């Protein structure tokens, strides 16, 4: 819309000089201002459906679970990207000898492996957080505690906070690079400190699900298992860099906030849709809670492996949670787990669900 600047005299010549005419002028311009403000800050329902290529504004949960309005048309921050890459990744090692205090393993520094509690013969669990998060986020602490309680393993938390702190569009752009650096680090760790890809389980939450997908792909699909916990949906539905079959020997996805913060379409060898896979999950009232349920369910499954999925004929049946086919447990920490297809199941409202 092109606006023309009129002088005070011209304006009142157009509308007349009466008080009523002046009021009409005020109302017209007030309406224009209101329209502009309304388009800049939309009144958007916090759980409205996301549609790839059409949705521009969306509420996404920040590191504390607080809804943050994101403009998906925001330009990539080229200046910030110049210094924020996967090279900034940090790798925090936890074992039963140091379950709560991290030991930092630095890529290329052999001493950082030799002076750590890393044991090559033990399974290696790798965890990647989501957007605006860091290594201290609950997804890392909850899963680390669960893995170490269930089995004597190495746990490495990937802290990619410098990229995760970017605006969402820029963070999405940087995900492949973060994954590439993670793959290079793990290759170096195995070659230098010992181990085997058959003992590696990559786990990622939200944006981190695509990080570990890219890492597995860069490693030639060698990791024994890759698990995506409600993989991020916005800008990922048709993105070739998303978590996919082939990123590991077995790829699993757990969908809890599909059609909004999480991706809904099947993307793994096995895709689980607890309670239909969309918000609200039992015990939740919003998208943020449902999104987080993915890693909470997964943590619970490591302790007791009690979630039994039933295979579905299609996504419609999965969404309605009316699946009655063959059985496959959702989650757990079994490295050689295998399965394929879509699965539905029901959970409880609170821990252990």
Strands, E, within 62-133: which ranges?
Answer: 67-71, 90-95, 98-105, 124-128
Which of 300, 298, 289, 228 shows the shortest CA–CA distance to 263? 228
**Partners of 93 in the β-ladder:** 103, 156
ω into residue 352 within 30 of 0, thus cis?
Answer: yes
Task: Based on the residue annotation, tell me whether 304 is a catalytic residue of this protein.
Answer: no
3-state DSSP assignment of residue 84: coil
Q: Token pair for residue 196?
A: 């085997």
Characterize 252-280 residue by residue with b for buried, 16 or more Cβ atoms within 10 angstroms of its Cβ, and e for exposed.
bbbbbbbbbbbbbbbbbbbbbbbbbbbbb
Selected catalytic residue, list 112, 116, 206, 244:
206
Residue tagged active-site, from 61, 116, 291, 301? 291
Residue keyed to tokens 């860091």:
134
SS3 203: strand
Rounded (5°) CA angle 249-93-250:
10
Supply 253's token pair: 């996805």
Round to whole Å and give the CA distance between 226 and 156: 14
**Three-state secondary-structure class, residue 136:** coil
115 has catalytic annotation: no
The half-sphere exposure of 276 on its side-chain side, counting CA atoms within 13 A, is: 10
Q: Which of 176, 156, 181 has its CA nearest to residue 89? A: 181
Closest to 217 measured CA to CA, from 239, 234, 194, 235: 239
| Catalytically annotated residue among 230, 257, 269, 271 | 230
Task: Please provide the DSSP assignment of 16-73 as one string.
Answer: -SSHHHHHHHHHHHHHHHHHHHHHHS----TTPPP-TTT--EEEEE-TTS-EEEEETT
**Any idea which residues carry the catalytic annotation?**
206, 230, 291
């Amino acid at each position: 819309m092109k606006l023309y600047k009129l002088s005070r005299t011209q304006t009142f010549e157009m509308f007349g000089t009466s008080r009523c005419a002046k009021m009409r002028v005020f109302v017209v311009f007030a309406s224009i201002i209101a329209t502009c403000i309304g388009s800049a800050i939309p009144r958007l329902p916090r759980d409205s459906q996301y549609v790839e290529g059409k949705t521009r504004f969306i509420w996404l949960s920040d590191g504390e679970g607080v809804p943050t309005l994101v403009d998906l048309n925001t330009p990539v921050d080229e200046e910030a990207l110049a210094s924020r890459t996967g090279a900034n990744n940090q790798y925090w090692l936890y074992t039963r000898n140091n379950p709560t205090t991290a030991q930092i393993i630095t890529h290329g520094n052999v001493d950082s492996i030799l002076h750590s509690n890393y044991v090559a013969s033990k399974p290696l669990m790798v965890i990647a957080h989501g957007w605006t998060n860091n290594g201290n986020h609950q997804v890392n602490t909850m899963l680390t505690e669960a893995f170490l309680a269930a089995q004597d393993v190495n746990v490495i938390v990937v802290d990619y906070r410098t990229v995760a702190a970017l605006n969402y569009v820029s963070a999405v752009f940087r995900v492949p690079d973060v994954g590439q650096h993670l793959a290079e680090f793990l290759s170096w760790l195995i070659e230098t400190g010992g181990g085997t890809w058959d003992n590696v389980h990559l786990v990622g939450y939200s944006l981190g699900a695509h990080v570990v997908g890219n890492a597995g792909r860069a490693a030639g699909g060698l990791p024994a298992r890759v698990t995506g916990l409600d993989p991020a949906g916005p800008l990922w539905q048709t993105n070739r860099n998303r978590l996919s079959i082939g990123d590991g020997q077995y790829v699993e996805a757990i969908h809890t906030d599909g059609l909004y913060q999480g991706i809904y379409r099947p993307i793994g060898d096995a895709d689980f849709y607890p309670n239909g896979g969309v918000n609200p999950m039992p015990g939740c009232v919003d998208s943020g809670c449902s999104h987080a349920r993915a890693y909470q369910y997964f943590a619970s499954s490591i302790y007791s492996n009690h979630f039994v999925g039933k295979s579905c004929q299609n996504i419609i049946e999965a969404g309605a949670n009316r699946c009655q086919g063959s059985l496959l447990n959702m989650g757990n920490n079994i490295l050689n787990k295998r399965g394929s297809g879509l699965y539905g199941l029901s959970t409880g409202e609170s821990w252990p669900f």
